[in-house]
Every structure is written in structure tokens, then in C-alpha cells.
Amino acid sequence: MDVEMVLKNLQEMKAMHGENLSGLDFSGRDLSGANLSGCNLSGCNFREAKLSSCDLSDCDLQKCDFRGADLSLSSLYNSDLSGSKLRRANLTHANRTLAKISKWAMKGAYITGPTAYCE
């Protein structure tokens, strides 16, 4: 599946739960409010993307680039962000409960709200 197909499905409110979307480039895209729960998004580029109020719970988000992305009010519940880059990412009031995020990755991110498990 390519980025344009994903965006079209989200626009039409089609479920994306559990899809393999690894390695796609969503940089600068507006995915606000999208439900991507349970998806494999490993290696995706979300640099400067708008992801506010997204459901990214139970996702594989390993080695993603979230630099400068807006993840405010999003759910990262029980997601694995190992090896992801979060510098300048906005995580204001994002639910990071049970999320696996390294302390190093959180350096330089804007953070308020629930805590996360950090390696």
C-alpha cells in the first residue's frame, strides 16, 4: 500500500487497523485524528507530520522519524518506539502509558501528560 492509498482510506474513514504500512513516507502530511491502531509503521518517516489526536496504540513504531511532528493528544498506548527519533516532536498530553520509548529518544521532545516506560 502506498501513502496516497492510505490517505484516501483514512479520508473515507476506512479502517486501517493492523495494516503493514512499514517504511512509508508521511513527512509533512496531515493525519490528524487517524485511527492506525495495531499497524506496523516501523521505519516510517513522520517528520513534521500532523498526528494530533491519532490512535497509534499497539503499533510497531520502531525506527520512525518523528522529528518536529505534532503528536499532541495522540494515543501511543502500548506501542514500541524503540530507535525512533522524537527531537522537537510535540507530545503534549499524548497517552504514552506502557509505550516503549528510550530516554535518549525523548531528548528534545515537548512533553506533558502520562509517563512512559523508558529503557
Distance CA 64, CA 10 (A): 20
Mean pLDDT across the stretch 31-40? 95
**So what's the pLDDT on residue 111?**
74
C-alpha torsion sign, points 15, 18, 19, 23: positive
Indicate the pTM of the whole model: 0.87
Distance CA 39, CA 60 (A): 7
Q: How many domains does the chain have?
A: 1
The CATH number for 65's domain is 2.160.20.80
Q: Given pLDDT bands bounded at 50, 70 and 90, which one contains residue 16?
A: confident
Distance CA 15, CA 64 (A): 22
DSSP string, 8-75: HHHHTT---TT-B-TT-B-TT-B-TT-B-TT-B-TT-B-TT-B-TT-B-TT-B-TT-B-TT-B-TT-B
Domain range for residue 50? 1-119
**So what's the pLDDT on residue 118?**
45
Looking at the chain, the whole-number percentage of residues with pLDDT higher than 90 is: 66
